[in-house]
Each structure stands twice: as C-alpha cells, then as structure tokens.
Amino acid sequence: MSYEMGKYDIVVVGAGHAGCEAALASARMGMSTLILATDLSSVAMMPCNPAIGGTGKGHLVHEIDALGGQMGINIDKTFIQSRMLNTAKGPAVHSLRAQADKTEYHLEMKRTLEQQDGLDLKQGEVVDIIVEKNEDGADEIGGVLLRTGAIYRARAVILCTGTFLGGKIFIGESVYESGPSGMSPATVLAENLRKRGLPMRRFKTGTPARALASSLDYSKMQKQAGDETISPFSFMTDSLSKDQEDCWLTYTNEETHTVIRNNFSRSALFGGKIVGTGPRYCPSIEDKVKRFADRKRHQLFVEPEGLHTEEMYIQGMSTSLPEDVQEEFYRTIEGLENIKITRPGYAIEYDCIDPTALKTNLEYREIRGLFCAGQFNGSSGYEEAAAQGLMAGINAVLALKHEKSFVLGRNEAYIGVLIDDLVLKGTNEPYRIMTSRAEYRLLLRQDNADERLTEKSYRIGLASKERYDRYLAMKEMTEKETERLETTKVSPAAVNPILEACGSTPISGSVSLADLMRRPQVGYEDLAPADPAREELPPRIKTRVEVGIKYSGYIEKQQQRVDKFKRMEERALPEDLDYENIDGLRIEARQKLAAMRPDTLGQAGRISGVSPADINVLLIHLERMRRSR
C-alpha cells in the first residue's frame, strides 16, 4: 500500500555529485526541495578515484563554481594534495586537480545539504516515478514512489541515479546485482523506467583495488608531491595553504602482463558476460595489456583515499579479473610485492538513458517536468555529473517559474560543450570531457570562468550577491591593471637587463609593459623590478591580466570565429515547426529534426544526418514563414 508523505516543488533522486548540485541549486533558487538517496552514507561518495579536476574536468569545476555550485568550495575544504597540470603549456589548458579526502568530502557535502534552507535530505529507495496527464493530454511528472510505499509529490523530478540504476558488479567469474562499492542497487526503478518507455541502454565502468599503505614500499616508487603554491578551485576562496599528502608512481612489467594474459579466460571483460559499453579512455589493465601488447610497461599511481584511513587507490589498474589474479599481478609490481588488498577492483554495469531523448535543458522530451543528470545521461566522472546536476537543477526551477531555459553555448563553457555533445550527438560510451572537445578552447579558460558565467547565474537568481560583487571587484582590478600596463612605458635602461635575463632582445626606445609581456619569454612577474608602481594583486588577477595581454591576438581571432558561429546559434527555431512538411528537407533530416526539435539553427546543424543544405532549406523556410505572417 502506498501512502502520501509530502509535497515538494522538486524531488531529486540520488545524492551523488549530480544530485547534490541539482538539489542545492533548486533550494537556493527558492524551491522547496527533497533529495533522496538509498543510503545517506553515499552522499557525494567517490566510488572511483579520489581526485577532483584534471584536464577539462578542472575547467568544469571552475565553471560549476562560477555559477554558484558547490563542488569547488567542497574540494577546496577537503583536498589533501593539489596540482596544476599542463603548466608547461598555454594558460587555456592549465588544469587544476586535487586529491580529496573522500570521507571529508562526503561529510562536508552532506553537512552542506543538511544546512541548506528549503532542502530536505532523506534516505529511501525510489522505485518508480509518478506520471500524470495534464490538461493538454501530455504526460507530466507528478512525483516519486518509494519502496516503502511512500509517495512524494513534486512538480519536477530530477533523476541522478549514477551507477546505482540496474547496477551489476563483475569480479572475475562472480556477478551480482549491486550499486557502487557494495551499496544496494536501484533495480526496480530501472525496470519501471524501461516500462515507461524511456530509451535505456547499458554502460560499464570499472575501478581498481584499494590496498593498505603499510603493505606498500614507497622507497621503490617515484614521489609525486603537490604544488608549492596552491590554486583554489573556488572563486570564493582567496588562497589556500595546507600540508599535503604525496602520491606515488610505479610501473607494471612483463611479469605483470604475463600473469594477466594467462588469466584472460577468467576475466569478466573477455568472458562475454558484460554487455555494457565501457569508456575507451578508462580501459581496465587487462584491456591495456590486450590492446597494447607491445607496451613493456604501464604506469600506475598510488594515491591516498584520505587522512583517516590507510587505504590507497591504485590508479591506472582498474580490473574485473578474479580477486586471486588481482593479488597475483599486483605483487609483480615494484613496491607492491607485499600488497594487502582491502577492496578488490571490479567492473560495474548500469542503466542510463540515450541522452538524445533529452532537450538542451536536460528535460526528458516525453514527460514534462522530468529532468535527468549525471551518469544517467551517459557521462562519466564526478565533474561531468556535477555540471549536469547543476544545470538540471537550474532548469527545473526555471521551468516551474515558466522562465526561459538556461542553456550554455559551446562558446561559453565546457558545460555547454558537454551538454550540447550529449544531447545533440549522443554518445556510444560513457562520455568524458576533454579540452579537445571544445572548439573555442582559448576563450574557455579556468581563470576566466567567473567572467563567462557569474553574471548570468546572478541574473537567474542562483549566484549570491556576495559572489557577484566579488566577480565585479575582480573584473575591475583586472581591467585597471591591464590598462595600467598598456599605458606605462619603460625605458631601455630600466628594462634591458631584465629582457636579457629572460633571453629576449633588448629595446632601443621606451615601450609599454604590456608590449613587453606579449613577448613569449617575458612574464608579468619578470617585469616587477622595472615596474615600481605596481601594487600587489591576488594571484588569480595576475594570471588573468597576463593571459589577457599575452594572448589578446589569438583570443581576438577566436572571438571572431565565435561571432560567426553565434549568428547561426542565436537564430531560434520555432518550437512548433512542422519539419515533416518542409519541402526540400531530406527524409533523414526531417525525421531527426522532428524527433530532436533543436532550439536554434546552430544546434540543428550539429545533429548527425542534417546537412548544410538542409540548414539552407530551413533558412529559406523561416524567411518564408516570416513573410507570410
């Protein structure tokens, strides 16, 4: 028997990285919100690697933060090691990554949810969604049903089920239904979503073993320490300093590969039991050994799971081989000879939706008010999940307020690239963000995420006044300093020794500081001795000023491309456009457009099967409609 347990504006199903952002955004935007998890000890759990950020992912976290999300603040509070990657390359691809204390990360996020006004956190397993007919006869979400029979009514529901949905774990020959890390899976919900006609499919991912630190010999490994100067993720954090933990690097060898090869037959992966599609960028060690047979070694990092535990994460060695084989091959590795495994690696298969069934605001097209985010949408990674959760939360709120959807363009944010790719192109494997996926990489930097996004978020009522004011203050500082550098000239006598030291050619007449900074060898800090009027600025501002000046030419060039792109991107397509009856569209284009209903002409052009000629036909059609009105 079912029974009524309450009424909310928005119910979020799942409290992983997507669910947390969705629920916080919803509550912060003034909606009464409920977040449900099968087990509250899984709030913001990190069942795989103990790190936040990395290439592309670091960009996502900065963007989540700039929009008023929680991930950046949470990791700034709970990290135990921080590194800026790619510092040898240009500023657009500098990528921040931090090792998290997993338990602290979970507790800090859980506390944030608990303390958030307008948000209720409850333990409970959702087994079905409630769908009703509205006045127009269309399907509309009504709430969720829990295993206990409890019904929570809601005007919008956000599904963030992660690897819990229909989860199945594989360790060698053993296969059992399970959520991540032994949590209980959401099996009934998976069945019911299928019954309701959601286009579901099956993906797979994997994780390596955890081992006791005391059983490892670090003297045989290379140390990887954190950065001396720590860059925070959050624009709300000025600076950070902390004693950091080390990570360790070691390698597999021929012996390791032989053990693995001899046991291919016992691998769940090659045994044909796993039907889900795994990501290519995250292959298991047995996959690596098989596909890259000529490689003599593969690297692995040993990373701490937190300060309250001895457990270490063996990054690079995800596997679904049986436990005895895992122990055998780990022991062939230098430094791991006496390894004591606390948790074996496993592969996990789960249900997710074909994201092309979603609108760009992450709402499922067939059921009004049903929003989806995270791994449920076919992505992979904590950061990708959080980004979508945030956007789904915002858009659920806006939908309830009957306001325009909040959709970020490919030229505005990695979040835009991520969602645009998922929704318009779909994905055949768990989708991971990469900087290579962004067309306008120079514009989408970590350092300027607030310039790109904070004002937009403030306008829709998510980013706080405090955040907005900080953004304005930083913007002003940046502009003032840039202007000062452009107009301050230095004499050859003052600056030539510096230039010489930098390996740059000396000047003969006076030149502006900004012009000198445009030289590849000369940086902002280098010029300090020749610039006595300089005020000490926060590191973030220095970076921003330097990037703005050094790369202004390239940034401008890319901006021109964006302007061209925007002409198509900003051309809205009417929602009721009858694609089936537009003369001149090819059949495939008609079907695809009718099914996906893109918001803009630009989006239409990115749908596979829609050609440039189809876009021209649409242009002509729009003009014809305009004139006959």
Kindly tell me which of 110 and 542 has the beta carbon lying closer to another protein.
542
Closest distance of CB 197 from another protein, Å:
30
Q: Do the Cβ atoms of 17 and 37 come closer than 8 Å?
A: no
Contacting another protein within 598-617 (CB under 8 A) = 611-613, 616-617
**Site membership for another protein, residue 322 (CB under 8 A):** no
User: Considering only residues 70, 74, 256, 318, which one is a binding residue for another protein as defined by CB under 8 A?
Assistant: 318
**Site membership for another protein, residue 628 (CB under 8 A):** yes
**Site membership for another protein, residue 288 (CB under 8 A):** yes
**Site membership for another protein, residue 520 (CB under 8 A):** yes
Number of Cβ atoms within 10 Å of the Cβ of 148: 12
Q: How far is it between the farthest Cα atoms of the chain?
A: 88
Kindly tell me which of 153 and 425 has the beta carbon lying closer to another protein.
425
Closest distance of CB 592 from another protein, Å:
16
Kindly tell me which of 301 and 350 has the beta carbon lying closer to another protein.
301
Kindly tell me which of 291 and 365 has the beta carbon lying closer to another protein.
291
Tell whether the torsion through CA atoms of 213, 217, 221 and 227 is positive or negative.
positive
Tell whether the torsion through CA atoms of 419, 158, 206 and 77 is positive or negative.
positive
User: Considering only residues 124, 232, 316, 374, which one is a binding residue for another protein as defined by CB under 8 A?
Assistant: 316
Write b or e for each residue in 270-283: b if 16 or more Cβ atoms lie within 10 A of its Cβ, otherwise e: beebbebbbbeebb
Kindly tell me which of 235 and 551 has the beta carbon lying closer to another protein.
551
Scan for tokens 């010029």, then name that residue: 527
Of 419, 399, 423, 424, nearest to 409 (Cα)?
419
Question: In this chain, which stretch among 113-121, 327-335, 480-488, 567-575 interacts with another protein, using CB under 8 A?
Answer: 567-575
Residue 242 CA: distances (Å) to CA of 65, 101, 223: 21, 13, 18
**CA 304 to CA 395: how far, in whole Å?**
37
- Going by C-beta distance under 8 Å and a sequence separation of 6 or more, which residues neighbour residue 597? 359, 365, 573, 575, 577
Helix, strand, coil % over all residues of the chain, rounded to 5: 40, 20, 40
Burial-class residue 537 by CB neighbours within 10 Å (0-12, 13-18, 19+): middle
Kindly tell me which of 137 and 612 has the beta carbon lying closer to another protein.
612
**Site membership for another protein, residue 623 (CB under 8 A):** yes
The count of residues interacting with another protein (CB under 8 A) is 58
x/- letters, 243..282, toward another protein (CB under 8 A): --------x----------------------------xxx
User: Considering only residues 2, 134, 554, 556, which one is a binding residue for another protein as defined by CB under 8 A?
Assistant: 554
Question: In this chain, which stretch among 159-167, 170-178, 295-303, 492-500 interacts with another protein, using CB under 8 A?
Answer: 295-303
User: Considering only residues 571, 599, 605, 609, which one is a binding residue for another protein as defined by CB under 8 A?
Assistant: 571
Kindly tell me which of 68 and 381 has the beta carbon lying closer to another protein.
381
Number of Cβ atoms within 10 Å of the Cβ of 86: 16
Number of Cβ atoms within 10 Å of the Cβ of 461: 16
**Site membership for another protein, residue 574 (CB under 8 A):** no
x/- letters, 422..461, toward another protein (CB under 8 A): ------------xxxx---xx-------------------
Write b or e for each residue in 14-52: b if 16 or more Cβ atoms lie within 10 A of its Cβ, otherwise e: bbbbbbbbbbbbbbbbebbbbbbbbebebbbbbbbbbbb
**CA 121 to CA 136: how far, in whole Å?**
33
Give the end-to-end CA distance of the chain in Å, rounded to a whole number: 55
**550 HSE (CA, 13 A, CB side):** 17
Kindly tell me which of 126 and 282 has the beta carbon lying closer to another protein.
282
Question: In this chain, which stretch among 91-99, 110-118, 123-131, 339-347 interacts with another protein, using CB under 8 A?
Answer: 91-99
E-assigned strand segments in 344-491: 346-353, 370-372, 489-490
Closest distance of CB 624 from another protein, Å:
5
Bridge partner list, 315? 301
**Site membership for another protein, residue 290 (CB under 8 A):** no
User: Considering only residues 55, 178, 320, 388, which one is a binding residue for another protein as defined by CB under 8 A?
Assistant: 55
Contacting another protein within 296-315 (CB under 8 A) = 297-299, 301, 315
Kindly tell me which of 253 and 464 has the beta carbon lying closer to another protein.
253
Interface contacts to another protein, rule CB under 8 A: 48-49, 55-56, 85-86, 89-93, 95, 251, 280-283, 288, 291-292, 295, 297-299, 301, 315-316, 318, 434-437, 441-442, 520, 551, 554, 557-558, 567-568, 571, 583-584, 586, 611-613, 616-617, 619-621, 623-624, 626-628
